Chains A and B, each alone.
Chain A
Amino acid sequence: MEKKYWKGLDELKGDVEFVEKANNEFPEEIPVDEVFSRKSEQPATPRRDFLKFMGFSLATATLASCEAPVRKTIPYLIRPEEIVPGVANWYASTFSDGNDYCSIVVKTREGRPIKIEGNKRSSVTRGGVNARVQASVLSLYDSARLQGPLAGGAPSSWQEVDGKIKEKLQAIAAKNGNIRILSSTIISPSTNKVIADFTSKYPSAKHITYDAVSYSAIIKANQASFGKAVIPSYKFDKAETIVSFAADFLNSWISPVEFANQYVQNRKLRGKKTMSRHIQYESSLSLTGSNADKRIQVKPSEQGIALLNLYNRLAAFAGASTVKDKPVRFIKSIEDTAQLLWKNKGKALVVCGVNDIYSQIIVNAVNKLLDSYGNTIDIENPCCLKQGNDADLAKLMEEIKAGEVSALITYNTNPVYTLPGAEEFKTALQKKVELKISFADRADETAALADFVCPDHHYLEAWNDAEPAKGHYSLAQPAIRPLFKTRAAQESLLKWAGVEMDYHNYIQDYWKANLFNTQSKYTLFETFWTDSLQNGVFDSSMAPAAAKEKETPENKKNKSKNKAHRNSQESGSENIKIDLEAASEGILRNSSDKNGDWELVLYEKAGLGNGSQANNPWLQELPDPVSKVTWDNYVTMSPADMRGKYNLLERGDNTGDVITLTLGNTTVKAPVYPQPGQMPGTIGLALGYGRTKTGKVANNVGVNAFPFVQWRNETFQYTAGNVSIGATADKHEFAATQTHHTMMGRALVKETTLSEYIKDPKAGNEEELFVYTSGKESSKKKSEELNLWDTHEKPVHRWGMVIDLNSCIGCGACVIGCQAENNVPVVGKDEVMRSREMHWIRIDRYYSSDMNAEKGKEEGKGSMQTLREMESPSDNPEVVFQPVMCQHCNHAPCETVCPVLATTHSSEGMNQMIYNRCVGTRYCANNCPYKVRRFNWFKYSDNKQFDYNMNDNLGKMVLNPDVVVRSRGVMEKCSLCVQRIQEGKLNAKKENRKVKDGDIQTACAQSCPTNAIVFGDYNDPASEIGEVAKDERCYHLLGEIDTQPNIYYQTKVRNTPEEKA
């Protein structure tokens, strides 16, 4: 029987009126008529009520329109198979832009690449990445990128562009006009094959390789010395003595990520008490020079002579014949260096960063005498990262000027910006080259002149492969579908060559044909390919088959020469000697013709490098590792040279003077910045700035230094003599993140020497005891034992980090890693100038000072005078680096002062910032002794005042969805990557196990190319951090104020033989 429910007793009783009412939607009739009719004098709803309703409706409608802007989230209707919302996918890939190479893994969230990390499986970069590679993910979302091909500067379609280009190319080929492909170094074997295919289709085509910052002198010198036109692989990890002549191998020279990792192997003191000794001869204070145990200031014109002297000293030890040299100022240092090198024969490495064939020949000879070949230098398995040939480029320029080039295809290079004498080149290009095609991703300086711009994919959208060093291969795979209508340059070339094939299959074919047969592990190509793709890398022990087959006449010639050379080596070093004399003469000749007022050194910064990624705001805001200046390049000058003439920017001043720099016909205006360590009489200027057509971020930031590049002896020189400078009345404001440069005698970075350390591992880190008096008893206690506060319980985990100051080279990769992971906003030059940068991790850089407390006392100076003088760094200072982030104090000064409990201590040792609760009193920041807290002075997202990646929808795609974008008025700081910790714990929980050591890495620890940062759980007995924290070198920053941080630092040890404390 059907059940019956009643609405009430009335219904049960069957009350007619009720039933009627219950069936109506509105139980009482709405008196619409009454309201609007004027029939009755007193309507049921009086006028007042009507007005009330009207008012209410109006008010609610208005209120409803005040709603916060609607943001749409679109759920997956059909979920892609490989994507789980909220769970990251990782793809192994390769970064290679003709300058840097890194094997990487790409983190994608919901299909968006959001973070780049190093691939630990790579035997070349060993999991290291640098700032530029980390930041490259933001370049993917650069709104200045072209969204499709351009024909004559106007948007076009691929079909149209292809049609026109093919037609023109065929026309040019028909009249046998020269076609030139100009590119930066291509390390992709498949791409090289594509170019070969292209040239076989168009026989008048030739490929020219040109690097904006060239290393062709090394190639030439090796050709001359050993008959091998290669850059050898260097093994800094095998070297116990490293001598570098102006080679900034930790920052820019050839393969800095690889070298940095090698370099620290012999600098780390874990489980051993030996370390390498590193001597640097250079003019500007480079990142490498600041890490050196000893740094000798030389002028560029003295570099070659220094090398000659070094060679002669070593030759004297070896009993080999000497060459002509000239006395140098610093002969004592050269003698010491020579002795040290000779003592470490076979374990020594001498490198030279001067792009001068003569100097490189001498370096080869020096390394030969030191038995470096086969030990610290591997010339058999050369490095492929820089193959630029300056002579070829010079020839190309002549051809273009002579009107002999009909078509120029530029790929991954920007000669109008990077060439000296670019104006001339530009005119010739415009007038004399019929067809100009560019593969640039934006209408940059060169592409703007092109007839066709066929934008290449960003590397994260593309397939590619790479061979960074002989026998080492890696693959790049797309981590996202192309955002725009771009096309791989390789596919474009193939198309024009008439090969209809997508580049993915092309690479597979290449690998199948050339690499698959060099291994024996896999029998099926498919598994070989999948595994290589998943690993990102493939190391072949055998030479590729293709290379074996290719035996060009040139190769043959080299080979025979090589043989001859080997023979000559066995019978003495006649072959080298002949080269040497010419080299020595060349050096002496060059050194005598440059004796102008000022010598200029061009260098690359850690952020911008050669400027190809200049439009990346993360990189622009990355402080230079040495000067700590952001958003600028400038003339670096020795304070000694500046005194009395230019503003020394002392005591937090940031208004510098502008000078003119003149060399030949080139004059630029640039601000001058005091750089301790700069050789007096020399000045430095960074490359990569002064872009004009790269995007709103970088256009007209700094000045272009490429016009100062000199052409001499078949190579580009990045130094110049005879530069004159002139004063101007202009002023320039610098945006530096650090404006005080010395430690003022404070033990912030604890330091010792190797010999002291061997004697006592606690050297430099002696325990500080405090007198404690209780009643009549007086004792000495450690600061940890003198406590006012209760200890927080940490029953399960206690996270923390140990930072080895011996391994940290100060490169800044961690800063960008953190910025990408934690959605740290870019604030722009003006705000940095106001000391408001938002970086959660910073690298403090301190210079030593000539003055110290003892010296002041000896000289009878008052303590005020002494302190005043301690503010000024030495003219050639020792440099230390110290990464500083939130120290996660167990007794945190910030926690007690927050009135609303917005910053608290977690049961896992972290100091947590609760953005939602923060009202923004900044008391915590004031009370933080480490000054690591960052305040949101403005709204940094969706604000046109801060027109960087967080102000456009494309740029916002880089944001990490696991980390909230902070609002205006709240404090923020390092969270110890709490989102990663949480993820690691959840994963462990899902697998029903405990968190394993190494499961979780903070972004900074992960990014560090030298593994200077060890992250882990102190409570885990098996953890690496637990082990490291027991080391005698560990100390707390500002331990005496007893904040008990969870971050430890390890004393820096310098390998200086003289017992200088």
Chain B
Amino acid sequence: MQEASIRVPLIIGNKSYTQLSDDICRPVEGKANKYWWMAFIISFLALLWGVASLSYTVGTGIGSWGLNKTVGWAWDITNFVWWIGIGHAGTLISAILLLFRQRWRMSINRSAEAMTIFAVICAALFPVFHMGRVWLAYWVLPLPNQFGSLWPNFNSPLLWDVFAISTYFSVSLVFWYLGLIPDLATIRDRAARANNKMRNTIYGILSFGWKGSARDWSRFEEVALVLAGLSTPLVLSVHTIVSMDFATSVIPGWHTTIFPPYFVAGAIFSGFAMVLTLMLIARKVLNLEDYINVEHVEAMNKIIILTGSIVGIAYITEFFIAWYSGVEYEAYAFINRATGPYWWAYWSMMTCNVITPQLFWFRGIRRSMVATFIISIFVNIGMWFERFVIIVTSLHRDYLTSSWTMYHPTFIEVGIFIGTLGLFFTCFLIFSRVFPVIALSELKSVLKAIRENGSSNGGHHE
């Protein structure tokens, strides 16, 4: 496929196919550097902390968290929605951008999809472990049983979540693995050449006997397209359903019809922020600066401006509707968000989510790695606060003023959150050492286009 010659190349440094393979397979084939080990140890410790906190919770009860009679969900579901949201970028990149034939996605889609998988795992922990009797969690599944047959409540949005998330997870996992197959085969072949028997065997199994024949490729692309088609509605549906946990309730501040689109935009927003955070670190640590470069970052930043602005508009719309509806409870819920005891959470959210992304209108900031990194962190924090604001500030002061109360987190809850961060990064770090973090085979297709136009554009890049 021909690239327009005015387009800037997506890979810089005039790479050959061999170089490309070498660069991308290096982390898998070589030894880890000390940054990787540092990051891994920190992540793993965080994970252990989380395991300890979670065990304590299961051992003693949900009372080890800061929840109370009025605020029945707080960090647990905040973290759940946050993690699910983060996952969305991966699916969007791999599915929707594939359908739109956005080729810059090729440098990041593999990592983004991996991120999706790990984020969904982290997310799924919360609805499971927030249950008072987690050992009965399987009751939410529509399993045949002897209770006369007792089915779950199909009216409950929590049940919809179960279906939405499990579907999402399976499709994402298959899609991700499918994309990995040709690259795994590359590693297998390279291992064969380097006479590394063990690696050859392992990757041989993992690559499912990929031969690289035309038939293989044709099937691969067809399946990829089908899965992309399947995933596309999931990008929209999963967070829509998550938002229905709130939207279908009666709690002022939750009972809002704007939630589905607003949550989807927010999810993509936070997901891209997380992809940026991860990629900006990964390109340094794994020496992939040439493959994930300023063009990719800028493209993602543009999506951040778009989704960030949608989210901002949603916030303002909520306020407008709260006033326009004339419902005193809803009006109060929003005034309370901005001026109540949790005002700091609200204004953290507004600053991080609405104001900071707008800085990306400046080209310099948009193309600055440092600024992008900082802003991506801001957006991550802001989106966490968004969920916290929605969940906690709506609940803590709802209908009957007599039940108004405050919520304060405990070390255990914080520990579990940190544990999921640990889990996420541990998984990601392991992933970066066992699988190619960039879709090698796909990227090769772009490389050719660049090389063909190389002579006219080469001058721009040293």
Q: Chain A: how many interface residues by the 8 Å CB criterion? A: 64
Q: Would you list which residues of chain A between 744 and 760 have a CB under 8 Å from chain B?
A: 744-746, 748
What 0/1 readout, one digit per residue, does chain A (647-683) give for beta carbons within 8 Å of chain B? 0000111000000000000000000000000000000
What 0/1 readout, one digit per residue, does chain A (843-855) give for beta carbons within 8 Å of chain B? 0111000000000
Given contacts A898-B156, A917-B139, contact A652 B404 (CB under 8 A): yes
Nearest A-chain residue to B327, judged by Cβ: A1040
B229 within 8 A of A: no
List, in ascending order, chain B residues with CB within 8 A of A740's CB: 397, 401-402, 404-405
Given contacts A740-B404, A935-B72, contact A899 B140 (CB under 8 A): yes
What 0/1 readout, one digit per residue, does chain B (313-352) give for beta carbons within 8 Å of chain A? 0000000000000001101100100111100000000000
List, in ascending order, chain A residues with CB within 8 A of B66's CB: 834
- B156 touching A835, Cβ below 8 Å: no
B174 within 8 A of A: no
When chains A and B are docked, how far (Å) is the Cα of A868 from the Cα of B61? Answer: 36
List, in ascending order, chain B residues with CB within 8 A of A893's CB: 249-250
- A936 touching B404, Cβ below 8 Å: no
Which of A203-211, A557-565, A690-698, A922-930 faces chain B?
A: A922-930
List, in ascending order, chain A residues with CB within 8 A of B132's CB: 918-922, 935-936, 968-971
A837 within 8 A of B: yes
A646 within 8 A of B: no
Residue from A748, A863, A900 in contact with B153 in the complex, judged by beta carbons closer than 8 Å: A900
What 0/1 readout, one digit per residue, does chain A (315-337) give for beta carbons within 8 Å of chain B? 00000000000000000000000
Nearest A-chain residue to B161, judged by Cβ: A899
List, in ascending order, chain A residues with CB within 8 A of B60's CB: 938
Nearest A-chain residue to B65, judged by Cβ: A937
Q: Would you list which residues of chain A between 717 and 772 have a CB under 8 Å from chain B?
A: 738-746, 748
Nearest B-chain residue to A939, judged by Cβ: B61
When chains A and B are docked, how far (Å) is the Cα of A271 from the Cα of B335? Answer: 44
List, in ascending order, chain B residues with CB within 8 A of A1043's CB: 250
A867 within 8 A of B: yes
- A919 touching B139, Cβ below 8 Å: yes
How far, in Å, is B218 (CB) from chain A's closest CB? 43
Q: Would you list which residues of chain B between 226 and 260 have a CB under 8 Å from chain A?
A: 245, 248-251
How many A-B pairs fall under 8 Å by CB? 184
List, in ascending order, chain B residues with CB within 8 A of A1038's CB: 399-400
- A923 touching B158, Cβ below 8 Å: yes
Given contacts A919-B131, A969-B133, A970-B132, contact A748 B400 (CB under 8 A): yes
How far, in Å, is A838 (CB) from chain B's closest CB? 9
How far, in Å, is B195 (CB) from chain A's closest CB? 42
List, in ascending order, chain A residues with CB within 8 A of B130's CB: 921-922
B67 within 8 A of A: yes
- B401 touching A923, Cβ below 8 Å: no
A831 within 8 A of B: yes
A164 within 8 A of B: no
A513 within 8 A of B: no
Q: Would you list which residues of chain A between 1038 and 1057 have a CB under 8 Å from chain B?
A: 1038, 1041, 1043
- A901 touching B150, Cβ below 8 Å: yes
When chains A and B are docked, how far (Å) is the Cα of A901 from the Cα of B150? Answer: 9
B63 within 8 A of A: yes
When chains A and B are docked, how far (Å) is the Cα of A936 from the Cα of B283? Answer: 48
- B250 touching A899, Cβ below 8 Å: no
The winner among A884, A897, A933, A967 for most chain B CB atoms within 10 A is: A897
List, in ascending order, chain A residues with CB within 8 A of B403's CB: 738, 930-931
How far, in Å, is A143 (CB) from chain B's closest CB? 25
Given contacts A897-B158, A923-B72, contact A846 B251 (CB under 8 A): no
List, in ascending order, chain A residues with CB within 8 A of B245's CB: 923
A980 within 8 A of B: no
What 0/1 readout, one digit per residue, does chain A (963-974) give for beta carbons within 8 Å of chain B? 000011111000
Residue from B61, B159, B248, B339 in contact with A938 in the complex, judged by beta carbons closer than 8 Å: B61
- B156 touching A899, Cβ below 8 Å: yes
- A742 touching B401, Cβ below 8 Å: yes
Q: Would you list which residues of chain B between 122 and 137 have a CB under 8 Å from chain A?
A: 127, 130-134, 136-137
B69 within 8 A of A: yes
Given contacts A899-B162, A938-B60, A969-B131, contact A837 B402 (CB under 8 A): no
- A744 touching B332, Cβ below 8 Å: yes
- B400 touching A899, Cβ below 8 Å: no
Nearest B-chain residue to A926, judged by Cβ: B72
Residue from A745, A836, A918 in contact with B69 in the complex, judged by beta carbons closer than 8 Å: A836
B224 within 8 A of A: no
- B341 touching A931, Cβ below 8 Å: no
How far, in Å, is B250 (CB) from chain A's closest CB? 5
Nearest A-chain residue to B338, judged by Cβ: A864
When chains A and B are docked, how far (Å) is the Cα of A743 from the Cα of B402? Answer: 8
- B401 touching A925, Cβ below 8 Å: no
How far, in Å, is A120 (CB) from chain B's closest CB? 32
Nearest A-chain residue to B397, judged by Cβ: A740
When chains A and B are docked, how far (Å) is the Cα of A969 from the Cα of B150? Answer: 20
- B401 touching A1041, Cβ below 8 Å: no
- A898 touching B131, Cβ below 8 Å: no
List, in ascending order, chain B residues with CB within 8 A of A653's CB: 406
- A927 touching B335, Cβ below 8 Å: no
How far, in Å, is A834 (CB) from chain B's closest CB? 5
B70 within 8 A of A: yes
Q: Would you list which residues of chain B between 69 and 89 have a CB under 8 Å from chain A?
A: 69-70, 72-73
The winner among B153, B157, B159, B332 for most chain A CB atoms within 10 A is: B153
The winner among A743, A900, A923, A929 for most chain B CB atoms within 10 A is: A900
Nearest B-chain residue to A654, judged by Cβ: B406
- B335 touching A867, Cβ below 8 Å: yes
- A922 touching B156, Cβ below 8 Å: no
Nearest A-chain residue to B61, judged by Cβ: A938
Residue from A845, A919, A968 in contact with B140 in the complex, judged by beta carbons closer than 8 Å: A919
- A920 touching B401, Cβ below 8 Å: no
When chains A and B are docked, how far (Å) is the Cα of A741 from the Cα of B72? Answer: 21
Chain B residues close to A by CB (< 8 Å) = 60-63, 66-70, 72-73, 127, 130-134, 136-137, 139-140, 150-153, 155-159, 162, 245, 248-251, 328-329, 331-332, 335, 338-341, 395-406
User: Can you offer 28 A-B residue contacts whose CB atoms are under 8 A?
Assistant: A651-B340, A652-B341, A740-B401, A740-B402, A748-B400, A831-B63, A836-B69, A846-B401, A867-B332, A867-B339, A900-B153, A901-B150, A917-B150, A919-B131, A919-B132, A919-B137, A921-B131, A923-B156, A923-B245, A929-B398, A930-B403, A931-B69, A934-B69, A936-B132, A937-B62, A970-B132, A970-B133, A1043-B250
A-B interface, 10 closest residue pairs, ranked by CB to CB distance from nearest: A920-B132, A969-B132, A937-B63, A922-B72, A835-B68, A844-B402, A652-B406, A931-B403, A740-B404, A969-B133
Known: A863-B335, A921-B158. 5 other contacts (CB 8 A): A651-B340, A837-B69, A864-B338, A900-B152, A918-B133
Chain A residues close to B by CB (< 8 Å) = 651-653, 738-746, 748, 831, 834-837, 842, 844-846, 863-864, 867-868, 882, 884, 893, 896-901, 917-923, 925-927, 929-931, 933-939, 967-971, 1037-1038, 1041, 1043
